[in-house]
Structure 1
């Protein structure tokens, strides 16, 4: 089914409140389904609104609605005194979301984000990196549109999901190497053993070493440039390597892009640590899912960014939409070709 029958939407920011309506609707659903799969709808509808496709939001949600589950039950109130024992416990998702809803209700959202970012950043690998991606979408909206209650609440949901799924990547050695660019460093990532076995957490546990790219970066501006370079390199790489796992390899781009989107709202002292964590995420996903052999790919023509996004929306898959959103951030022809490749090899939402 085509989710894009309406072609009248303006490319301007959503002035109609459609995003707020969608977020309010989605905040009655849990952040996951089937006990382990992420609810991607808040991220996807934010991307649609950001690219002037608010008119397609509710139609797309109707297609996605069967994947939504009820909001989880609360267990125990999280406080400033007991939060450590709840960190990384997915059973406490509702408790964490309630905690952050109180936090953003009592002080500016930027202050909450800055206080919790260094605490959550080491665990950005939980939930297959989806929690930080959800936070990145929420921050983009808050930085570029009015700070409405549903949009601030969406940040609370993202941070709460991140805290509940907080999962550090431990035991990964930084391997010396000569890669000077992010693209070369991704090319030098060694695949893990037994790539056909296990889900994201099990595979992450088998990542023993990653190239030490950008490990010495401390300057905030250099960190910002490095993150942009990493997002561009990982996005380009998908065109020739995405067939290794068409869905999971999207996260090699979208996770660091979420971090990049959050940087303007964070103290500059947090930018370099953010680059290092994002590199670990992108490189680890590459090690976990990349194919043995790349394939040549030529896009079926040259398309404007808005045409590529229209094709992604017509396809409907949530990962395809979010990857196209990142590809448009990168903005060059190779990135757009990668988005077209994702459309080609992914199952559509029907």
Structure 2
């Protein structure tokens, strides 16, 4: 195991070894399309890429085989009709229709055969960003992991381009916009805005909460989203990831796997932004906050503790986290730990390391 000392792209990360690990993983995952359980997105390509980003390329083959042993792929829906990228009326009608997932993936495969992947990304991410809540944000996440793998190689092969098509297709086919505008323009701090998100009087089921099915039942949800102050400072995305790392630490009994998705999409968006000139940090911040507010509504009980800086507690070292990730191997743990280490490298704060330790200790290992 050779942990990286930095999480910024380096020549080492672009090595043939990393490319070989990812292509081997994708080859082994032939037959895994979008889902491998009721309401469960396929996580294996994302987990494999996160391991590569941590410098754990050598673990990827065994990790993928372990994933395959635990998950049975669900066949993708049959293709029904080709989508026309040049006809907005045609493709907009198919947004958010899971029955058209294969049509979406086929559309992006066609586009990626005739255009640079960066051009496809720059055109389509602005069209999809307002619906990234669908499938508990996994369309955006899968897309971003594919983009990060592509960023690390000079000449992308068919397997990586296919994975990008699958990520974008999943995003488009599960597109879901949440109630109300995503436009924070109030005066509340993030901690106070989280506290002000309305909650149901009776808990929702995990699927209802994770798919945002019952948010329209909360009439003050949109107003509570708007109460957050606009982003300030040099790193609004880091403000979100740090704030929600503190949310996880303040609520250790909450449904951790669901709340992981208040952090990982913000980290994922950092990968996309350099490729999407039309996407501003302010717009992305607003979308991320709205989705996180929806997760707070569904998964944090009323009166949940406020996200404050953690009490005096010795955070683990990066090396400790890497060792435990290598032994633990759960896909959500791998992805969140990698995201926390990446954010900590950018903006050191013990909350990131403590959050990584928390998920390692709470989620059962493989």
Normalised by the length of structure 2, the TM-score is: 0.83
Partners of 1:302 and 1:173 in 2: how far apart? 34
* Partner secondary structure for residue 55 of structure 2: coil
Which of the numbers 278, 288, 293 marks the counterpart of 2:304? 293
Change (3 A) 1:175 1:229: closer
Aligned length: 337
1:209-251 CA distances to partner (integer Å, 9 max, x unpaired)?
133266656xxxx697212211121123212224211110110
Counterpart check, 1:67 vs 2:81:
no
* Partner secondary structure for residue 244 of structure 1: coil
The residue number in structure 2 matching 1:28 is: 31
Change (3 A) 1:145 1:229: farther
Which of the numbers 209, 214, 226 marks the counterpart of 1:212? 226
Q: 1:19: how far off?
A: 1.0
Change (3 A) 1:107 1:224: farther
Contact (CA 8 Å) 2:144, 2:268: kept in 1 or not? yes
What residue ranges of structure 1 are gaps of 5+ in the alignment? 1-7
Counterpart check, 1:43 vs 2:51:
no
Q: 1:214-293, aligned counterparts within 5 Å?
A: 216=230, 225-291=235-301, 292-293=303-304
Which of the numbers 316, 321, 346 marks the counterpart of 1:303? 316
The residue number in structure 1 matching 2:16 is: 15
Partners of 2:149 and 2:239 in 1: how far apart? 23
Counterpart check, 1:139 vs 2:143:
no
* Partner secondary structure for residue 33 of structure 1: strand
* Partner secondary structure for residue 279 of structure 1: helix
Q: 1:52: how far off?
A: 0.5
Contact (CA 8 Å) 1:255, 1:281: kept in 2 or not? no
Change (3 A) 1:309 1:226: same
RMSD over aligned Cα, in angstroms?
2.7
Partners of 1:160 and 1:299 in 2: how far apart? 44
The residue number in structure 2 matching 1:3 is: none
Change (3 A) 1:185 1:305: farther
Partners of 1:318 and 1:171 in 2: how far apart? 32
Partners of 1:306 and 1:152 in 2: how far apart? 32
Contact (CA 8 Å) 2:41, 2:138: kept in 1 or not? yes
Partners of 2:205 and 2:39 in 1: how far apart? 17
Change (3 A) 1:107 1:175: closer
Contact (CA 8 Å) 2:273, 2:279: kept in 1 or not? no
* Partner secondary structure for residue 267 of structure 1: coil
The residue number in structure 2 matching 1:4 is: none
Contact (CA 8 Å) 1:131, 1:161: kept in 2 or not? yes
The residue number in structure 2 matching 1:5 is: none
Contact (CA 8 Å) 2:343, 2:352: kept in 1 or not? yes
